[in-house]
Amino acid sequence: MHPSTSAARSVGLNKVYGAGETRVVALDNVSVEFRHGEFAAIMGPSGSGKSTLMYCMAGLDSVSSGSAAIGETEITTLKEAQLTRLRRDRIGFVFQAFNLLPTLTALENITLPLDIAGREPDQEWLAKVVAAVGLGERLEHRPSQLSGGQQQRVAVARALATRPEIIFADEPTGNLDSRSGAEILTFLRNSVRELGQTVVMVTHDPVAAGYADRVVFLADGRVVDELTAPTADAVLDRMRRFEAKGRTS
Ligand SMILES: Nc1ncnc2c1ncn2[C@@H]1O[C@H](COP(=O)(O)OP(=O)(O)O)[C@@H](O)[C@H]1O
Ligand SMILES: [Mg+2]
């Protein structure tokens, strides 16, 4: 789509929670860029600031200082109503919990964001997304009649339905067995490769990170490394080296 421009970017981002004895520096001067058409992973141990980074870059949480942009739009200065609109119109979200509405069918869940935005679906795009979700006649089923993996596929399709500029996913395979997890990761990767989407995925799982085009490593709220065309083994190896360093320093 816009191959040379950034889909999301942070410059010198800081996020501090609490004050005094309970003060936690969750993000420490984070500058990072995600490009259009990229499948990127934010990787790091539990508590390293992955979710905080995603929330700050996606306008779900406020920053303490620094800047964050979606495309050309600086988001740290937006008012709440503008942020709500930006998230609705330009960003797709996938979380560890599938967050589907139980009374709607799978298909109704997928088209819900379009209904809420009052937008006419791009039928051709929607047909592609619905075909890619691979649920066949189960599209008419309710979430409780679907497996965890199928529910998360619906949640990914829901994020894709509005054809957002960028999808942020926080531990999307965290509640799934490895086989269902592999299906979701393949679906996300195909949405980048075949549908031209941009996906930023937070994960602590080297296998999940191995599906991405690029991995950004966080430790103690800082970007400490980056890996292009990663394999699960290379990611695991990198993580082990950080842990060893942490123990000796
Ligand atoms: N709402 C909050 N209030 C206080 N501390 C928080 C809050 N959210 C996260 N933290 C702290 O910020 C750090 C980073 O958290 P988080 O971004 O959730 O890490 P990760 O997603 O990598 O596991 C942790 O030390 C965590 O305890
Ligand atoms: Mg997290």
CATH number, domain of 86, equals 3.40.50.300
Residue of 15, 51, 53, 203 best suited for mutating to test ligand 1, as the one with most atoms within 8 Å of CB = 51
203 lines ligand 1 (CB under 6 A): no
Q: Kindly tell me if the per-residue pLDDT of 240 is higher than 80.
A: yes
Q: Which tokens belong to 90?
A: 């330009």
The pTM (predicted TM-score) of the whole model is 0.94
Question: Is the per-residue pLDDT at 227 higher than 80?
Answer: yes
Task: Kindly state the percentage of the chain with pLDDT values over 90.
Answer: 84
CB-ligand 1 contact for 164 (6 Å cutoff): no
Tens of pLDDT, residue by residue over 43-68, are 999 999 999 999 999 999 999 999 99
- pLDDT reading at 2 higher than 60: no
Residue 221 CA: nearest ligand 1 atom is 14
* Ligand 1 neighbour 239 (Cβ under 6 A): no
- Top mutation candidate among 17, 54, 242 for ligand 1, by most atoms within 8 Å of CB: 17
Query: From ligand 2's centre to the CA of 120, what distance in Å?
Result: 34
Can you give the pLDDT at residue 116? 86
State if residue 151 touches ligand 1 by the CB under 6 angstroms criterion. no
Q: What is the pLDDT of residue 119?
A: 83
Q: Does residue 200 form part of some domain?
A: yes
> Is position 14 within any domain?
no
State the residue for tokens 């979710």. Answer: 51
Residues 171 and 41: beta-carbon distance below 8 Å: no
User: Taking 60 as the threshold, does the pLDDT of residue 3 lie above it?
Assistant: no
Percent of the chain at pLDDT > 70 equals: 97
| Nearest atom of ligand 1 to the alpha carbon of 49 | 17
Quick check: is 68 in a domain? no
Which pLDDT does position 5 carry in this prediction?
80
Average pLDDT of span 123-127: 90
The rounded mean pLDDT for the chain is 93
Q: Is residue 166 part of a domain?
A: yes
Looking at the structure of the chain, the number of domains it has is 1
- CA dist 196 → 5, 29, 199 (Å): 14, 30, 10
Asked whether 174 and 185 are in contact (CB, 8 A), the reply is no
pLDDT at 4: 57
Which residue range is the domain that position 178 belongs to? Answer: 37-62+74-248
15 lines ligand 1 (CB under 6 A): no
Residue 82 inside a domain? The answer is yes
Q: 17 lies in a domain?
A: no
DSSP 8-state symbol, 188:
H
Rounded mean pLDDT, 101-119:
92
Pair 124, 163: CB distance under 8 Å: no
Residue 2, amino acid:
H
Does the structure show a pLDDT above 60 at 245? yes
